Amino acid sequence: MKLGFLTACLPGRTLGEIAAFAAAQGFEALEVAAWPALGDRPFTAAHLPLPEMTDRQTDEIAETVGKHDLAISSLAYYDNPLHPDARERAAVHEHLHTCIDAAAALGVPTVGTFVGRHPGRTVAENLADAETVFAPIVDHAGERGVDIVIENCVMEGWHPDGYPGNLAYSPELWEWMFSLGLYLNYDPSHLMWMGIDPVTALRPYVDRVRHAQAKDVELFPERRHRYGWPGIAVGRTDPWDVGWWRYRVPGRGQVDWPGVVDALHEGGFSGVLSVEHEDPVWGGTPDRVEDGLRIAHRTLRPLVTP
């Protein structure tokens, strides 16, 4: 198993600058943010020259990462393939195909995304739609030797009432998406606030985990007694502010990291555990983000031996 991080936490840094920092801190891999451009959603970045990446640029990227003895573990494009707007949905699908081609050119084994959701349709209607939507995506990825990994993020901010906006948040839905030829980018933090034990949930499915993310979560149960599981309902100005939990870097929340890493090891996972830094305490400036990544590294390095 290798230790890496998702580059989206440093949107203003170049891939070369990030690679130099990662190597200096003892990381071994990068999960490279591959959105088409910086948008208004937090924790996205464009660290590859997509959609028009030339052969020369591909070689330069491989050289930039390789000279620091790093691997690219995955390309990250977490958007909504079931977007309710037809034009937006088509753009997401097109960029997913672009990411698959870029991953194949760079020798990257996986591309990460979401299942997503149309918030105006039922879960059953969305799942039926997804079976059609993902078939050509999975086929294209298979032809290029790339696996599509789905993060089990809830994406509550995509639903007008804070309900799940990404239909991949539970083991029940994992089994459904595996039947479509999709794999899991496992993140324990989302399971914790959903009331699912992350170690118990992981153990039966390690063989379907192609990539894993390390994000912690800090829970405030006393606030949940006021808001309930969906979070703030009155005066919720920020769709991502549930009000009774927040994401943290590993070591600053309540995830059982020895248990998670042990379950991955025991199940035979030999891929990359990638820190996903969305911690508001260790955010705000690139220097503080880097400090947060150092904290994560100190927490996980004793568990993920190089």
User: What domains lie within the chain, and their CATH numbers?
Assistant: 2-300 (3.20.20.150)
Pairing status of strand 245-248 against strand 216-219: antiparallel
- pLDDT (tens, 9 = 90+) of the chain, 306 residues, equals 999 999 999 999 999 999 999 999 999 999 999 999 866 677 899 999 999 999 999 999 999 999 999 999 999 999 999 999 999 999 999 999 999 999 999 999 999 999 999 999 999 999 999 999 999 999 999 999 999 999 999 999 999 888 999 999 999 999 999 999 999 999 999 999 999 999 999 999 999 999 999 999 999 999 999 999 999 999 899 999 999 999 999 999 999 999 999 999 999 999 999 999 999 999 999 999 999 999 999 999 999 987
What whole-number distance in Å separates Cα of residue 118 and Cα of residue 139? 23
Contact at 8 Å (CB) between 186 and 209? yes
DSSP reduced 3-state for 177: helix
What whole-number distance in Å separates Cα of residue 63 and Cα of residue 100? 20
Contact at 8 Å (CB) between 190 and 212? no
Q: Would you state the pLDDT for residue 107?
A: 98
DSSP reduced 3-state for 103: helix
How many residues in the chain? 306
Q: Would you state the pLDDT for residue 43?
A: 84
User: CA nearest 1: which of 303, 272, 274?
Assistant: 272
Angle in degrees, 0-180, between the axes of helices 286-300 and 257-266, rounded to the nearest 10: 60
Residue 191, H or E segment = helix 188-194
Tell me the whole-structure pTM to 2 decimals: 0.96
Q: Would you state the pLDDT for residue 132?
A: 98
What whole-number distance in Å separates Cα of residue 301 and Cα of residue 150? 25
DSSP reduced 3-state for 68: coil
Torsional class of 123: left (φ above 0), alpha (ψ -120 to 50), beta (otherwise): alpha
